[in-house]
Amino acid sequence: MGKKGKAAARERREERRQEVTLLRAVPYEPHQRWWDGLAPARAVAVVTGASRGIGYEISRQLALHGLHVVLASRDAARGRDAAERILREEEAASAEWRQLDVADAASVEAFAAWTARTHGGIHVLINNAGVNFNRGADNSVEFAEQVIETNYFGTKRVIEAMLPLLKPSPYGGRIVNVSSRLGRANGRRNKIGDAILREQLLTDDCLSEELIDGMVIKFLEQVKQNSWSSIEWPQMYTDYSVSKLAVNVYTRLMARRLSDRSEGQKIYINCFCPGWVKTAMTDWEGNISAEEGADTGVWLALLPQEQATIGKFYAERREISF
């Protein structure tokens, strides 16, 4: 892309950013606030990786809209502080913290058991917990195993544990996976080099857990053997991109499994890219705020039932390609 093309792309992004800012300022109409229909109880939302950054901001915005939010995170001090901050700053907010390490199966099991005992179930699950050890022009795969374990297997582990706890309702349960455009199978600059694998990942009838798990295991084996190639795998932030590619494809797989549920039992699962956000994960080098980055995830979680979608990928409140 030449200088003119890049400038035009930046202009389009800025225009859409301003449009979404205006949309965010529009209050939900009473008939759109499906979560109010659950009164006298509040709708319960669980947000993983909620102690800071996008996870915290999603939690804050959901609490502001009137949901009870469980902020889940590994770090106890940060997590408690985050929940207390929401309660201090938002007068009518309802929030609490609970420890959760998505990379630890026992932690996930204990969290699910606590949620069942304490709340009987939930209405919204936001899978935000994730790690990325690369910054700037770096592309190390030194921590690839931890990245894949947290970002993909952790997300999958939480969904499997929490899926039975999504409460039946006329409005449908909501699962939102925080992902990235870097995880596109056919991205212009960061795509999978293996054309056969790429086609399988983009073909719904080919999708299976075995395919997705096999892809990430193959990548990790190549990393251990130091035989991985940027020709075969995404070129930018390779381990992070592979993990988010797996999340994107798993979202579509789960959507297929959930799509034939009857009315009153429906669960809507989607993923979104928050953009390049100014958070600790990007060393504060992003170009949008956490408030802006969280917006599409909150929007997906709160979509009126008649507008709810399943198995889609979004950015700036618009559907984008996988």
Q: Look at residue 1 in the predicted model and tell me its pLDDT.
A: 63
Q: Is the dihedral of CA 275, 280, 281, 283 positive or negative?
A: positive
Residues 56, 237, 240, 250: which is the catalytic one? Answer: 240
Q: Look at residue 7 in the predicted model and tell me its pLDDT.
A: 81
Q: Look at residue 284 in the predicted model and tell me its pLDDT.
A: 67
Q: Where are the domains of the chain?
A: 41-136+149-180+245-318
Task: Give the chain's radius of gyration (CA, Å).
Answer: 19
**Which CATH superfamily is 41-136+149-180+245-318 part of?**
NAD(P)-binding Rossmann-like Domain (3.40.50.720)
Q: Look at residue 316 in the predicted model and tell me its pLDDT.
A: 95
**Please, how many CA atoms are within 13 Å of residue 50, restricted to the half-sphere of its CB?**
31
| Exposed / middle / buried, residue 236 (Cβ in 10 Å: 0-12, 13-18, 19+) | middle
- Give me the tens of pLDDT residue by residue for the chain, a chain 322 residues long: 667 777 887 888 889 989 999 999 999 999 999 999 998 999 999 999 999 999 999 999 999 999 999 999 999 999 999 999 999 998 899 999 999 999 999 999 999 999 999 999 999 999 999 999 999 889 999 999 999 999 999 999 999 999 999 999 999 999 999 999 999 998 887 889 999 999 999 999 999 999 999 999 999 999 999 999 988 999 999 999 999 999 999 999 999 999 999 999 999 999 999 998 887 767 667 778 999 999 999 999 999 989 999 999 999 999 999 9
Q: Look at residue 9 in the predicted model and tell me its pLDDT.
A: 78
171 included as an active-site residue = no
Q: Look at residue 263 in the predicted model and tell me its pLDDT.
A: 92
| Exposed / middle / buried, residue 264 (Cβ in 10 Å: 0-12, 13-18, 19+) | exposed
3-state SS string over 86-140? HHHHCCCCEEEEEECCCCCHHHHHHHHHHHHHHHCCECEEEECCCCCCCCCCCCC
Angle at 258 between CA 215 and CA 66, to 5 degrees: 105
Q: 267-272 and 124-127 as β-strands: parallel, antiparallel, unpaired?
A: unpaired
Compute CA 306 distance to the chain's CA centroid, rounded to the nearest angstrom.
22
- The tokens describing 302, both together, are 């709160």
* Helices marked H in 41-96: 53-64, 76-89
CB proximity list for 159: less than 8 A, separation 6 or greater: 125, 127, 175, 254
> How many angstroms separate the CA atoms of 241 and 133, rounded?
12
